[in-house]
Amino acid sequence: MGWISWCWSQDSDSEGKQLASSVREQLIIGAFIVVVVIIIIIIIIIIIIITIIVVVVVIIIIIIIITIVVVVVVVVIIMS
């Protein structure tokens, strides 16, 4: 038991700290990558939603314009 604990204490002095710091760095890098991916996905979703809204608004405007034109043409035909 004494030998194992001595080996452990030797390891934990230098390699343990390096291992812990490298693991910490990997976790930070991993978390950063996850955050970036989430932000990119959110931006893509927002762009898609904005595009859908714009398309719907344009379609509604086109329908309103067509309706107005049809009404005007019908009124002109009736008046003449």
Mean pLDDT, range 23-36, rounded to an integer: 86
Measured CA to CA, the distance from residue 22 to residue 40 in angstroms comes to 27
User: pLDDT confidence of 60, banded at 50, 70, 90?
Assistant: very high
> For 27-31, 32-36, 38-42, which range has the lowest pLDDT when averaged over its residues?
27-31
Q: Does pLDDT of 9 surpass 60? A: no
User: pLDDT confidence of 20, banded at 50, 70, 90?
Assistant: low
Highest mean pLDDT among 2-6, 37-41, 76-80: 37-41
Evaluate the CA torsion angle 14, 16, 21, 23 in order and state its sign. Answer: positive
